[in-house]
Amino acid sequence: MFLKKNSKVPLDKFINRVLYDKTKGYYMNKNPIGNKGDFITSPNISIMFSEMIAVWLISFWEKIGCPKILNIIELGAGNGEMMFQILKTTEKFNKFKSSSNFIIYEKSPHLKKIQKSKIKFSNIRWINNLKKINNYPSIFIANEFFDALPIKQFIKKKSSWSERYIKNNNENLEFYEKKTKKEFIERLIKQRINKSQNFIEYSPLANKKLTIISKIIKKNNGGLLVIDYGYNDKKMFDTLQSVKKHKKNSVLKNIYNADITHLINFYFLKKKISALKLDSVNLTTQREFLIKIGILERAEIISKNMPFSKKSDIYFRLDRLIGKKQMGDLFKVLFATKKINKFNLGF
């Protein structure tokens, strides 16, 4: 059984075990991404997505004066598709290529193996500790990374707060609410809780990563690009969800065999990053971001001499990325950097 009889764990500990348990964890010994997996991500829908990120990276590098060395770090690279396409796209840009250290920060040994067998370029390495990045301008890219980190949830009912736990009740897993104090939550999230707020989702791990990353950017210059499924409202709500084979699954069912994820509250993320003293934070939708970089023109160029069936496949995939009812509006893009860089391509 997942939990001993009558024992309970806070939600973040539960998610951490389900997804990252060393032997059984969901991400630790399988590749969940793709049509045959449980969900699909933008780089795996169309290579145009990664091509736009590559163009955007080169523009950033140029804008900050073409430094001789630039670290490009992907956080949580899944099956390695985005990094592979970025390296392929930037192959022809000799000066940029020879200035770039490509780095993957990945927790899953199984996914790391897949990444290593796919990405055979010489200027890439893998790290287990973000603090190893301590020199040179560094740009961090997080596509669906933060939504894979464990969260805590707090619920307010009749002016008193509780934390969500998972409990083994006679061999059945169920949610359980354990009373807590508002002050405890405020200390944890380092923010006052507004009276109108009656739900909080918060990832202590995401907060840790953001603190390390913003320190590196403040010291060496660079930036953080976050692309994720999320919303931009002051008011938080319960966004915990689980998927298996591209369909909704109950969070407490198919333990170790279904993904558990949540939506990013970008309003809160922006506030957090500003508090960490990165003074330029831009936010837009995936649709706006990709269109402003030139994805429509790219689709036109590559589909020009193609037969109808191939052309329609390209536009079908493009629509999945930028369609308003598809990923275009649901996915948001945030870029945090230093104001002095005056870089806002895509926003």
Ligand X SMILES: C[S@@+](CC[C@H](N)C(=O)[O-])C[C@H]1O[C@@H](n2cnc3c(N)ncnc32)[C@H](O)[C@@H]1O
Q: Which residues bind ligand X (CB under 6 A)?
A: 27, 33, 41, 43-44, 76-78, 82, 105-108, 111, 143-145, 148-149
C-alpha radius of gyration, the chain, whole number: 21
Complex with ligand X: residue 78 or 137, whichever CB lies closer: 78
Write down the least CB distance from residue 8 to ligand X, Å: 24
Write down the least CB distance from residue 97 to ligand X, Å: 22
Write down the least CB distance from residue 47 to ligand X, Å: 13
CB 164 within 8 Å of CB 251: no
Give, rounded to a whole angstrom, the gap between the first and last alpha carbons of the chain. 48
Complex with ligand X: residue 128 or 172, whichever CB lies closer: 128
Write down the least CB distance from residue 295 to ligand X, Å: 17
Buried b (16+ CB within 10 A) or exposed e, 154-167: bbbeeeebebbbbb
Show Cβ contacts of residue 69 under 8 Å, excluding neighbours closer than 6 positions. Answer: 99, 101, 135, 136, 137
Write down the least CB distance from residue 103 to ligand X, Å: 12
Complex with ligand X: residue 114 or 173, whichever CB lies closer: 114
Alpha-carbon distance values, 312 to 130, 159, 264, 269, 299 (Å)? 41, 54, 32, 37, 11
Complex with ligand X: residue 25 or 346, whichever CB lies closer: 25
Complex with ligand X: residue 143 or 265, whichever CB lies closer: 143
Complex with ligand X: residue 107 or 218, whichever CB lies closer: 107
Max CA-CA distance within the chain?
A: 65
CA 15 to chain centre: 16
Per residue, what are the HEC states of 46-98? CHHHHHHHHHHHHHHHHHCCCCCCEEEEEECCCCCHHHHHHHHHHCCCHHHHH
Residue 165: strand, helix, or coil: strand
Write down the least CB distance from residue 144 to ligand X, Å: 4
Distance in angstroms (rounded) separating the CA atoms of residues 222 and 213: 10
Complex with ligand X: residue 44 or 214, whichever CB lies closer: 44
CB 314 within 8 Å of CB 302: yes
Write down the least CB distance from residue 259 to ligand X, Å: 7
- Minimal CB distance residue for ligand X: 76
Complex with ligand X: residue 213 or 217, whichever CB lies closer: 213
Burial class (CB in 10 A: 0-12, 13-18, 19+), 216: buried
Write down the least CB distance from residue 27 to ligand X, Å: 4
Question: Residue 119 is encoded by which pair of tokens?
Answer: 């990405």
